[in-house]
Amino acid sequence: MQLTDLTAVRLLEGYRAGEFSPVEVTEQVLERARRIQPEVNAFVRLTEEDALARARESAARWRRGEPAGLLDGVPVTVKDLLRLRGHPTLRGSTTVSEQGTWDEDAPPVARLREHGAVFLGKTTTPEYGWKGVTDSPLTGITRNPYDTSRTAGGSSGGSAAAVALGAGPLSLGTDGGGSIRIPAAFCGIFGLKPTYGRVPLYPASAFGTLSHTGPMTRDAADAALLLDVIGTPDARDWSALPPAPGSFTEALKGGVRGLRVAYSPSLGGQVAVRPEVAAAVRQAVARLATLGAYVEETDPDLSDPVDAFHTLWFTGAARLTQGLSPHRRQLLEPGLREICALGARTSALEYLAAVDVRARLGRRMGRFHERYDLLVTPTVPVTAFAAGREVPEGSAHRRWTGWTPFTYPFNLTQQPAASVPVGTDGDGLPVGMQIVAARHRDDLVLRAAHALYEARAVAPAATAVV
């Protein structure tokens, strides 16, 4: 049995039964992380000494029969946009100095610490998390576990690659326009962007209420368990939601029978979806129907809000880098410099017009979910393309949003949305299916995904080559 292949739920069962210890698991997971790093580049740094120390403390608690919490002894990685006490958070940028006290955890990290999780290290991100692939001036290119010539996606690409390759079953990612769901789809794992505010965030993102924090895991059951831990209020986030009405783990038991599912294969023909992606998603949707869901092929009125998203995204980037000196600004990746310049030229009235577009879109989706419990789409219309590029070769688009039309609208609307792996293309690259629910109905997203896992309709997409 490879301990690195086990889910968090299975690890906890093993700890409880005395089959293995958190120290054994942590040692094996760290060894796996060291082995994959040269080829995939998933980590900014490994925190090996701290991880082993926490694992030993956890092992002692399990021997006494006194685990500290729901995730005691489970290895976790943290995207390097989130603070981890005692270690620098460099955000993929050479403009951030390692000097400092680094004495505070981000809210979800703090909750994990309270529940006894073992922190393995910080995972890679593009500079300030600004795009849908993971390469940066600081750490270079993060590569796909199934084909290292391809991208892992982004901006939580390091987290996705680490989970896919057994370097920890759980990771914390962030998602401002698809940054959990895109790499989850490209790397064949489960990724959930919860309802905005369900997972508190501090410091606040410069991208404002577009930016969500959530689980990246092997399956929906692990994500539900992780969300039970991190989805609790924190006084530092004034926009955080109150406690959830119940356990997300308990909510998994509901299944999909009787749920009303809207299936939109291409947003009404707005999106050109690769045939192999479309076929894999259609097959998974058919399985939802056999499990008892009422499925109807229909499209929400999204009226492509990319211009409004760009206004909000580019102004956030401009604000993020506003304090940099001219010299340090030249250290930024050229694409990031470009969108910062565009954002800096945006007027307040243009910004507020984008906010209006967002409000109208949110209202339309609210009405849509009065008729349908879930919306299902492809996560991304393509599979992983060449690493080191912002867009696929031959694309007519300059920015990453051009090939992610299914993801960023639901950051505008703040809805929960997940990517589940539903197969592979002809090159053996994973295909993701997106499941979306109304705001505050994270439980429905997790229920539907878990039902597919239980029915073995969703599984790791392939055997990673690394």
Q: Which regions of the chain are under pLDDT 50?
A: 461
Catalytic annotation on 395?
no
What is the rounded distance in angstroms from the CA atom of residue 404 to the CA atom of residue 419?
A: 13
Catalytic annotation on 193?
no
pTM for the structure as a whole: 0.98
What is the rounded distance in angstroms from the CA atom of residue 219 to the CA atom of residue 222?
A: 6
Residue 416 confidence (pLDDT):
98
Phi, psi at 212, each rounded to 5°: -115, 155
Residue 458 confidence (pLDDT):
83
From 155, 171, 205, 211, the catalytic residue: 155
Residue 353 confidence (pLDDT):
98
* Contact call for residues 188 and 419 (beta carbons, < 8 A): no
What is the rounded distance in angstroms from the CA atom of residue 156 to the CA atom of residue 407?
A: 14
Catalytic annotation on 136?
no
Distances (CA, A) of 259 to 194, 279, 291: 19, 22, 10
From 21, 79, 156, 211, the catalytic residue: 79
Residue 303 confidence (pLDDT):
86
Number of Cβ atoms within 10 Å of the Cβ of 19: 13
Going 305 to 311 to 313 to 316, the CA torsion angle's sign is negative
What is the rounded distance in angstroms from the CA atom of residue 10 to the CA atom of residue 222?
A: 9
What is the separation of C-alpha 251 from the centre of its chain, rounded to a whole number of angstroms?
Answer: 21
Phi-psi map region of 166: left, alpha, beta (phi>0 left; psi -120 to 50 alpha): left
What residues does each domain of the chain span? 3-454
- Is the domain spanning 3-454 CATH 3.30.428.10? The answer is no
| DSSP-derived pairing of the beta strands 118-123 and 75-79 | parallel
Mean pLDDT of the chain: 96
Cβ partners under 8 Å of residue 420, min gap 6: 190, 220, 284, 432, 433, 435, 449, 452, 453, 458
* Contact call for residues 89 and 81 (beta carbons, < 8 A): yes
| Cis upstream peptide for 155 (omega within 30°) | yes
From 93, 156, 179, 205, the catalytic residue: 179
